[in-house]
Structure 1
Amino acid sequence: MLSMIPRLIGHRGAKESAPENTLASIREAAAQGAAWIEFDVMLTRDGVPVVIHDDTLDRTTDGHGPMNVVDHAALKRLDAGSWFDSRFAGERVPDLTEVLDLARSLTLGINVEVKPFPGQEEETAATVISFLQRYWPDNGRLLVSSFEVPSLETVRRLAPALPLGYLLWDPPADWAAIAGRLRADTLNVDQERQTARSVAEYRATGRPVLAYTVNDAGRAAELFSWGVSAVFTDAPGRLQREMGAM
């Protein structure tokens, strides 16, 4: 059963202040007061679930090429921090188990986005569920989300009671039917595409609406006034302060 989700969720940790999807970013989110974080999970060539967003290594590491051809040992040798700031030199792409251990030690809730390399939608979801069932027993502080319907179908089949978030960017015409078939617990939507009307349509399904990615306090206030339940933000501490000053 999904417990109360806080209004602000750290996006890839606190990626305004630290390199995204790293242990440093997660620590920073907790230091800024975030109660929940969101992060992305993909598989290495040899099937190890790791926390990284892109299909390629180039943007957030000193490696190059697609994720699906690098094995775990080679990935762990890459620097995932220097691109952001020299203070983070030597930061690594973390394993899912490392992130779960850290989040648990910091008493953080987690939104795990299944972010499969194309063609690995079912395999990635199944691996994530296997690890969550072993290392994260608290479903009340857990949401698993994905843009990929095959991934969500796999999650629902393997973990019928697990809280599920249906990620939407450009919603298909039958999005509501898909959400119903998946028994999605939340609808996670692109904030830039939202209006009061669109939020009302999502909320009419009876599901909480979570909006990504919101770094402006005025926009966050507007979304909340429309009935959005939570926003993903790169700057949980700053946004909290700025909203408190409004």
Structure 2
Amino acid sequence: MPALKPWPYPRWIAHRGAGRLAPENTLAAFRLGAAHGYRMFECDAKLSADGVAFLMHDATLERTTDGHGTGGAQPWSVLSQLDAGGWHSRAFAGEPLATLENLARFCLANGHLLNIEIKPTPGTERATGEAVARLAARLWQGAAIPPLLTSFQAESLAGARAVQPELPRGLLLDTLRDGWLAAATGLDCAAVVCNHALWDAATVAQVQGAGMRALSYTVNDEWAAQRLVELGTDGIITDRVDLFSPAV
């Protein structure tokens, strides 16, 4: 049985900064998550048309900004002018999109940890994985604990591994498709990150028996969190930074 890989990360991870309490993936959200005591955050990173890594979940701009079209098709000079907070509430109107470098500097200055989900614009999977990994390695150079890079896209993780193999990786899964464990081990992942409903005792044992950690998204109910704790999973990503104490 392979030994479990080193795991310096806390159990509780704030989803997109502060869940739904602030506009996701903005610096305002990460500041709010930190104010609730969270030490680790999850974010989504993709590339602008001119290669700037910025934070956004969707491929398109409409849901979380006042822009239109595909985010990755726009240069950063355009993206940086968008309102990424007004959709959430008037209190956050005018909040700009954040770059991954913005967030890295915030985390490093305050001792916070980060899970970077590589969220490529379709068609840029490997290039995005490579670019995000290179940037993360540069920004966290010399840091005691590196960011965890995760993705649903195996090609993105393969790109990250090719250019910065020392950065820990995690495979995201929304179903336990055929070959999922082999895919994670083949990418030399440190973790498998599943929809929380997919975990049972046997699946946790499979992952941990292969030397990886078992993480869950997105856990917003106390009963679900308790089940995952009892199963012995290693990390819980939540929107409910106002409900769950990260000290537990």
TM-score by length of 1: 0.93
1:180 aligned to which of 166, 179, 185: 185
* Corresponding letter in the other structure for 1:159: Q
- Kept in 1: contact 2:13–2:237 (CA 8 A): yes
Identity %: 36
* 1:55-100 deviations in Å (ceiling 9; x for gaps): 0001100111112321111111110001111000110110111111
What is aligned with 2:204?
A: 199
Decide which structure has greater helix share.
1
What is aligned with 1:77?
A: 81
* 1:6-54 deviations in Å (ceiling 9; x for gaps): 1110110012211100000000111111110010101111111101110
Shift of 1:240: 1.6
Q: How does 1:120-199 map to 2 (within 5 A)?
A: 120-137=124-141, 138=143, 140-199=145-204
* Corresponding letter in the other structure for 1:216: D
- Kept in 1: contact 2:133–2:167 (CA 8 A): no
What is aligned with 1:49?
A: 53
User: How far, CA to CA, are the matches of 1:53 and 1:151 in structure 2?
Assistant: 15
- Kept in 2: contact 1:33–1:237 (CA 8 A): no
- Kept in 1: contact 2:128–2:156 (CA 8 A): yes
Residues 139 and 158 from structure 1, CA distance in 2 versus in 1: closer, same or farther, beyond 3 angstroms?
Answer: farther
Shift of 1:161: 1.5
- Give me the CA root mean square deviation: 1.7
Shift of 1:2: 4.8
Is it true that 1:99 corresponds to 2:103 in the alignment? yes
- Kept in 2: contact 1:13–1:39 (CA 8 A): yes
Aligned with 1:240: secondary structure?
A: coil
What is aligned with 2:115?
A: 111
Residues 153 and 139 from structure 1, CA distance in 2 versus in 1: closer, same or farther, beyond 3 angstroms?
Answer: farther
2:35 aligned to which of 19, 31, 35: 31
What is aligned with 2:94?
A: 90
- Kept in 2: contact 1:216–1:239 (CA 8 A): no
Shift of 1:236: 2.5
1:66 aligned to which of 58, 66, 70: 70
Shift of 1:116: 0.3
TM-score by length of 2: 0.92
Shift of 1:234: 1.0
User: How far, CA to CA, are the matches of 1:177 and 1:53 in structure 2?
Assistant: 27
* Corresponding letter in the other structure for 2:8: M
Aligned with 2:215: secondary structure?
A: strand
- Kept in 1: contact 2:64–2:84 (CA 8 A): yes
Is it true that 1:18 corresponds to 2:22 in the alignment? yes
